[in-house]
Structure 1
Protein backbone atom coordinates (compact mmCIF):
# COMPACT_ATOMS: atom_id res chain seq x y z
CA UNK A 1 0.00 0.00 0.00
CA UNK A 2 1.40 3.38 -0.97
CA UNK A 3 -0.58 5.52 1.51
CA UNK A 4 1.16 6.54 4.71
CA UNK A 5 -1.23 7.83 7.38
CA UNK A 6 0.06 11.06 8.95
CA UNK A 7 -2.82 12.20 11.13
CA UNK A 8 -6.47 12.93 11.70
CA UNK A 9 -8.14 16.02 13.14
CA UNK A 10 -7.74 15.60 16.91
CA UNK A 11 -11.16 17.18 17.44
CA UNK A 12 -12.86 14.79 15.05
CA UNK A 13 -16.15 13.22 15.96
CA UNK A 14 -17.84 10.11 14.67
CA UNK A 15 -19.02 11.82 11.49
CA UNK A 16 -16.11 14.12 10.54
CA UNK A 17 -12.55 13.14 9.94
CA UNK A 18 -10.26 15.55 8.08
CA UNK A 19 -7.18 13.43 7.44
CA UNK A 20 -3.65 13.77 6.02
CA UNK A 21 -1.79 11.01 4.17
CA UNK A 22 1.28 10.79 1.95
CA UNK A 23 1.14 8.75 -1.23
CA UNK A 24 4.68 7.38 -1.24
CA UNK A 25 4.40 5.94 -4.73
CA UNK A 26 3.18 9.12 -6.40
CA UNK A 27 5.03 11.51 -4.04
CA UNK A 28 1.85 13.45 -3.27
CA UNK A 29 -0.05 14.79 -0.30
CA UNK A 30 -3.52 13.29 0.07
CA UNK A 31 -5.94 15.41 2.07
CA UNK A 32 -9.46 14.69 3.22
CA UNK A 33 -11.35 17.74 4.40
CA UNK A 34 -14.64 19.53 4.57
CA UNK A 35 -16.37 20.67 1.42
CA UNK A 36 -16.42 24.44 1.02
CA UNK A 37 -19.62 26.43 0.98
CA UNK A 38 -20.69 27.86 -2.37
CA UNK A 39 -19.21 31.30 -1.64
CA UNK A 40 -15.72 29.94 -0.87
CA UNK A 41 -15.75 27.63 -3.87
CA UNK A 42 -16.79 30.51 -6.12
CA UNK A 43 -14.04 32.73 -4.68
CA UNK A 44 -11.44 30.04 -5.33
CA UNK A 45 -12.77 29.42 -8.84
CA UNK A 46 -12.55 33.15 -9.63
CA UNK A 47 -8.92 33.41 -8.49
CA UNK A 48 -6.54 34.20 -11.32
CA UNK A 49 -2.92 33.11 -11.10
CA UNK A 50 -0.51 34.35 -13.76
CA UNK A 51 -0.30 31.85 -16.60
CA UNK A 52 -3.32 29.83 -15.46
CA UNK A 53 -6.96 29.93 -16.41
CA UNK A 54 -9.47 30.76 -13.70
CA UNK A 55 -11.99 28.18 -12.61
CA UNK A 56 -11.77 24.72 -11.12
CA UNK A 57 -10.91 21.92 -13.52
CA UNK A 58 -13.22 18.90 -13.49
CA UNK A 59 -10.57 16.75 -11.81
CA UNK A 60 -9.81 19.17 -8.95
CA UNK A 61 -11.60 20.16 -5.75
CA UNK A 62 -11.35 22.76 -3.02
CA UNK A 63 -11.29 21.35 0.51
CA UNK A 64 -10.94 22.86 3.97
CA UNK A 65 -8.94 21.48 6.88
CA UNK A 66 -8.64 23.10 10.31
CA UNK A 67 -5.55 25.13 11.22
CA UNK A 68 -4.95 22.74 14.14
CA UNK A 69 -3.83 20.22 11.50
CA UNK A 70 -1.06 22.44 10.06
CA UNK A 71 1.64 20.42 11.85
CA UNK A 72 0.35 17.28 10.11
CA UNK A 73 0.63 18.94 6.70
CA UNK A 74 4.19 20.02 7.60
CA UNK A 75 5.03 16.48 8.66
CA UNK A 76 3.62 15.11 5.40
CA UNK A 77 5.73 17.62 3.44
CA UNK A 78 8.83 16.56 5.40
CA UNK A 79 8.11 12.91 4.57
CA UNK A 80 7.77 13.75 0.89
CA UNK A 81 10.95 15.83 0.82
CA UNK A 82 12.94 13.11 2.58
CA UNK A 83 11.69 10.48 0.14
CA UNK A 84 12.06 12.62 -2.98
CA UNK A 85 14.96 11.27 -5.00
CA UNK A 86 14.18 13.10 -8.22
Structure 2
Protein backbone atom coordinates (compact mmCIF):
# COMPACT_ATOMS: atom_id res chain seq x y z
CA UNK A 1 0.00 0.00 0.00
CA UNK A 2 1.19 3.49 -0.82
CA UNK A 3 -0.83 6.59 0.09
CA UNK A 4 -0.81 9.74 -1.99
CA UNK A 5 -1.67 12.96 -0.16
CA UNK A 6 -4.63 14.68 -1.89
CA UNK A 7 -5.39 17.61 0.36
CA UNK A 8 -5.89 19.13 3.77
CA UNK A 9 -8.67 21.50 4.79
CA UNK A 10 -7.22 24.96 4.12
CA UNK A 11 -9.56 26.48 6.74
CA UNK A 12 -8.68 24.05 9.52
CA UNK A 13 -6.94 25.73 12.45
CA UNK A 14 -3.29 24.77 13.01
CA UNK A 15 -3.20 22.72 9.81
CA UNK A 16 -5.23 19.91 11.37
CA UNK A 17 -7.86 17.67 9.87
CA UNK A 18 -9.70 16.87 7.71
CA UNK A 19 -7.15 15.32 5.40
CA UNK A 20 -7.62 13.03 2.39
CA UNK A 21 -5.23 10.45 0.91
CA UNK A 22 -5.67 7.96 -1.93
CA UNK A 23 -4.24 4.45 -2.05
CA UNK A 24 -2.23 4.43 -5.28
CA UNK A 25 -2.79 0.70 -5.77
CA UNK A 26 -6.54 0.38 -5.15
CA UNK A 27 -7.81 3.95 -5.56
CA UNK A 28 -9.46 3.75 -2.12
CA UNK A 29 -9.74 7.02 -0.22
CA UNK A 30 -8.47 7.40 3.34
CA UNK A 31 -10.15 10.24 5.22
CA UNK A 32 -9.23 11.87 8.50
CA UNK A 33 -12.02 14.03 9.86
CA UNK A 34 -14.12 14.94 12.85
CA UNK A 35 -16.03 12.08 14.45
CA UNK A 36 -19.78 12.49 14.69
CA UNK A 37 -20.80 14.23 17.89
CA UNK A 38 -24.22 14.93 19.31
CA UNK A 39 -27.23 12.79 20.00
CA UNK A 40 -29.33 14.13 17.11
CA UNK A 41 -26.74 13.22 14.45
CA UNK A 42 -26.07 9.83 16.03
CA UNK A 43 -29.82 9.09 16.11
CA UNK A 44 -30.17 9.88 12.39
CA UNK A 45 -27.14 7.77 11.43
CA UNK A 46 -28.12 4.78 13.55
CA UNK A 47 -25.87 1.94 14.63
CA UNK A 48 -22.22 2.18 13.67
CA UNK A 49 -20.59 -1.27 13.61
CA UNK A 50 -17.49 -1.98 15.69
CA UNK A 51 -14.35 -1.09 13.79
CA UNK A 52 -16.11 1.59 11.73
CA UNK A 53 -16.53 5.33 12.19
CA UNK A 54 -18.51 8.11 10.58
CA UNK A 55 -16.46 11.25 9.96
CA UNK A 56 -17.57 14.70 8.91
CA UNK A 57 -15.74 16.39 6.04
CA UNK A 58 -16.60 19.97 5.04
CA UNK A 59 -18.07 20.52 1.58
CA UNK A 60 -15.11 22.77 0.70
CA UNK A 61 -12.96 19.61 0.72
CA UNK A 62 -14.68 18.19 -2.39
CA UNK A 63 -11.98 19.89 -4.46
CA UNK A 64 -9.53 17.25 -3.21
CA UNK A 65 -11.62 14.20 -4.17
CA UNK A 66 -10.69 12.58 -7.46
CA UNK A 67 -13.40 12.35 -10.09
CA UNK A 68 -15.47 9.18 -9.88
CA UNK A 69 -15.08 6.36 -12.34
CA UNK A 70 -17.22 6.70 -15.45
Query: Which category describes the TM-score, using the shorter chain as reference length?
Result: 0.7 to 0.9
Q: Could you state the TM-score of these two structures normalised by the residue count of structure 2? A: 0.78
More helix by share: 1
Moved over 4 A (4+): none
Q: Calculate the aligned-residue CA RMSD, in Å.
A: 2.0
1:58 aligns with 2:13: no
Question: Distance in 2 between the 1:72 and 1:41 partners?
Answer: 26
Aligned residues: 68
Runs of 5+ consecutive residues of structure 1 not aligned to the other structure: 46-54, 82-86
Q: How far apart in 1 are the matches of 2:16 and 2:34? A: 8
Q: TM-score, normalised by structure 1?
A: 0.66
Larger radius of gyration: 1
